[in-house]
Structure 1
Amino acid sequence: MPCLNEAETLERCIAKAKDFLQRSGASGEIIIGDNGSTDGSVEIARRCGAQVVNVSIKGYGAALGGAIAASRGRYCVMGDSDDSYDFGDLALFVAKLREGADLVMGNRFLGEMAPGAMPWKNRYIGNPALSGLGRFLFAAPIRDFHCGLRAFSREAFFRMDLRTTGMEFASEMVVKATLLNMNIVEVPTTLSRDGRSRAPHLRPFRDGWRHLRFLLLFSPDWLFLYPGLFLMVAGALLGGWLLTSPIHIFGARLSLDTLIYCAAMIEIGFQSILFALLSRAYAIQEGLFPKPLRPSRFERIFSLERGILAGALLLGIGAWLFLTAFGIWREAQFGALDVERVTRVVISSSLSLSLGFEVILSSFLLSMLKMNVRLLPKATQAGRDGAQSIALSGEPEASCTM
């Protein structure tokens, strides 16, 4: 559980977790990821028999990540330290883990929610909207993306390779588990009013935006690729029609001015598609995205050489159109031109030339991002365990990560 000045409620949370471990007969440890508390929370945790991990990097995700990394159990249970979740009622979570689930999510909407436990804007707007968006973008089988009470195997956690340090940590866990095809299940849980007299650390609009931003950035297809394809196709279809002759729609005449905007749509759409390809390649190289088990159709087709050839072809078309426009100008003895005729050729030429250069340059950049670089061997999980082991006898089955 992440802890930042939770002296009012921390002891009750630890007591409930200890009670569950005693009643269930599970061997476990209770770990607090402290984020710089100054109200005596650390002393309370140690007095209650919990292990404290001091996490200097600020943030909800950083505190949880530090505590989980220090755990030794086969399974971990995480939850907030404000006494809003009942650590004494974890039987369903543990049962699902033992049945083979990688990630067990609590669902507050399937369980009980005490009056006033969740602000109305979170309950009826924010959480349903963000959870729905997450299901739509990633096909995640989760209806409560932001429930703070969840359990997972330690092995699954390290496979997720979570990177965010703030509130986005909760969304990243669900998204990464989904992209890795992990076994994810939901169980009902109870949400109570938190037991603190002070305002919570959560800021609904700020943290809601951070979750939304994360979901969009983790979905380059919906953010870049599909809008780009739409713009390119729409611009090409309408522009191709306008290249032959003006169009009359409900008395309005569409001609060169509309053709210029069509060229801009194609250019912007192409840029958006490039952003999708480059951002995905960068994210996979940096470990932000899980590396797909099989290469995509584009990856099977793409190579630097083919990119250069495609760009050269566009440059050749652009150059040929340029010479055509120059020939038209020469026919007019370098004087006044038929604007309707020559402008269509010039627009097509400039668009082909710009796309050709972009294809060649982006092919080099994409190839650089996909280079197989030599990396130092990753620390094994055993090594991590040794570096962050804690003085407890035996190997606990579960870690109540607090």
Structure 2
Amino acid sequence: MNFLLEEVDKLTDNNNPEITVVLPCLNEAEAVGACVEEAFKGIALTGLSGEVVVVDNGSTDASEERAKSAGARVVRESRKGYGSAYLRGFAEAKGNYVIMADADGTYDLTQIPQFIERLRSGDDFVNGSRARGAIPFLHRYVGVPILTWVLNILSGTRFSDAHCGIRGFTKEAIKKMRLRTTGMEFASEIILQSARVKLRTSEMAVPYRERTGESKLRSFPDGWRHLRFMFLYSPNALFIVPGLSAFVLGKALIWSLVWGALTIGNITLDYHYMIGGSVIAIMGFQALLLGLHARIYFDTVGLTQDDPLVSWISRNITLERGLVFGLLLIIGGVISFGWLVNEWLSGGQAFASNYATRIGLLGLTLLVIGVQAIFSSFFLSILGISVVTNTNDQ
């Protein structure tokens, strides 16, 4: 080995190291020893004390032995997964500055000083951005750009490589993010949570080398896990924005056509479009409610903190107010159907002019949305009970 073990001892003789490098490992016997050596070289270049923590995620080869012989502290994590390994590594880290990287030789760990310099200058999170040379063709031109673009839109960030495997954090920043996913989506969670808790972030270019050994990545399944997680973790984009837009559009169609056909240029919109408006409004209202439920659930389980929308809901949308709102809508629907019955019994002209159809569609929409509002109010209150319980437990 090129990096003498006595040099490693000099770096790790402090029980309170300044830097911790976390390397997850699953059958990386070919590369992990060299990665640990390189990590110690990078630490030495900073002039600070440090440690290398290798998290063995169930290796069946000589990975653990080679990591230990290179000077790393090896811990075992029985729960399988990229995120599981890092969560264990972050929990074990003693340093004030934490560097995460893969144990396959793809990242140049002698660049650790550049990460530490930015962290010591005030950044909370420094993201790497890979040179495109060694990235596989599909990842370079399809996977990485698309996933990064989607993640930037959902998180409001401007990273050029949202899934780079080398990153640096302060220990305090890791605590603030409250990370919890166990799979490959862990990389996406870091970006989303860093934006949510408003970490000071930056990005720096890093070289990317051909990996040593067999790749563990599964391009399409792992890519889908990232994409699925991004949307599930973003209820505004998945539910609230499309739901509110659909609800407003649907109600606009209903109210503009309830009194009669509407002609715009050569186009005439009649009650057929009102049917579409009713369906759109109902679906939109349901999606909007799901978004509100999701936001409260995230707050309940600790995925978000001090969510302003959740605070507003807690203050303004009580069970009683929801019940009143829903009952008013249902009463409006019942009145509409009552008018229809009266017209039918009296032999009025409403049925002959399709006006009855319009009133019926309006009444049906009010009834359905009213029922949704009532049951949603009960469900929001159930979630609210969980929020109070969690707060008291803490």
In the superposition, the TM-score normalised over structure 1's length comes to 0.86
Equivalent residue, structure 2, for 1:156:
173
Q: Please tell me whether residue 24 in structure 1 is matched to residue 46 in structure 2.
A: yes
1: CA distance, partners of 2:371 / 2:261:
29
Q: Is the 8 A contact 2:119 2:125 kept in 1?
A: yes
| Displacement after TM superposition at 1:131 (Å) | 1.4
Equivalent residue, structure 2, for 1:75:
97
- CA RMSD in angstroms comes to 2.2
SS in 2 for 1:373: helix
2: CA distance, partners of 1:330 / 1:170:
66
SS in 2 for 1:275: helix
1: CA distance, partners of 2:45 / 2:240:
52
2: CA distance, partners of 1:101 / 1:293:
25
Of 134, 140, 145, 2:162 maps to: 145
| Displacement after TM superposition at 1:135 (Å) | 1.7
Q: Is the alpha carbon distance of 1:301 and 1:338 closer, same or farther for their aligned partners in structure 2, counting shifts above 3 Å?
A: same
Letter in 2 for 1:232: F
User: What's the CA shift string for 1:29-76, capped at 9, x where partnerless?
Assistant: 111111100011111112222111111111101011111111211111
Point out where structure 2 has 5 or more consecutive residues left out of the alignment: 1-22
User: What's the CA shift string for 1:93-148, capped at 9, x where partnerless?
Assistant: 0111111211111112xxx44x3x10122112221222122222221242211010
Equivalent residue, structure 1, for 2:137:
120
- Within-5 A mapping of 1:382-397: none
Equivalent residue, structure 2, for 1:4:
26
Of 259, 277, 280, 2:292 maps to: 277
Equivalent residue, structure 1, for 2:12:
none
Letter in 2 for 1:33: V
Q: Please tell me whether residue 345 in structure 1 is matched to residue 359 in structure 2.
A: yes
User: What's the CA shift string for 1:302-324, capped at 9, x where partnerless?
Assistant: 22222122112111111211211
Equivalent residue, structure 1, for 2:151:
134
Q: Is the alpha carbon distance of 1:376 and 1:248 closer, same or farther for their aligned partners in structure 2, counting shifts above 3 Å?
A: closer
SS in 1 for 2:55: strand
User: What's the CA shift string for 1:218-244, capped at 9, x where partnerless?
Assistant: 211111111112212222222222211
| Displacement after TM superposition at 1:258 (Å) | 2.3
Equivalent residue, structure 2, for 1:216:
231
Point out where structure 1 has 5 or more consecutive residues left out of the alignment: 379-402
2: CA distance, partners of 1:132 / 1:157:
24
Q: Is the 8 A contact 2:351 2:357 kept in 1?
A: no
Q: Please tell me whether residue 172 in structure 1 is matched to residue 189 in structure 2.
A: yes
Letter in 2 for 1:65: L
Q: Is the 8 A contact 1:106 1:147 kept in 2?
A: yes
Letter in 1 for 2:162: F
Equivalent residue, structure 1, for 2:198:
181
Equivalent residue, structure 2, for 1:89:
111
| Displacement after TM superposition at 1:296 (Å) | 5.5
Q: Is the 8 A contact 2:300 2:390 kept in 1?
A: no
Q: Is the 8 A contact 1:176 1:290 kept in 2?
A: no
Q: Is the 8 A contact 2:87 2:180 kept in 1?
A: no
Equivalent residue, structure 2, for 1:46:
68
In the superposition, the TM-score normalised over structure 2's length comes to 0.88
1: CA distance, partners of 2:288 / 2:166:
38
Equivalent residue, structure 2, for 1:389:
none
Q: Is the alpha carbon distance of 1:377 and 1:271 closer, same or farther for their aligned partners in structure 2, counting shifts above 3 Å?
A: closer
2: CA distance, partners of 1:127 / 1:299:
39
SS in 2 for 1:96: helix
Q: Is the 8 A contact 1:107 1:143 kept in 2?
A: yes
Letter in 1 for 2:70: C
SS in 2 for 1:176: helix
Q: Percent identity?
A: 37
2: CA distance, partners of 1:97 / 1:59:
27
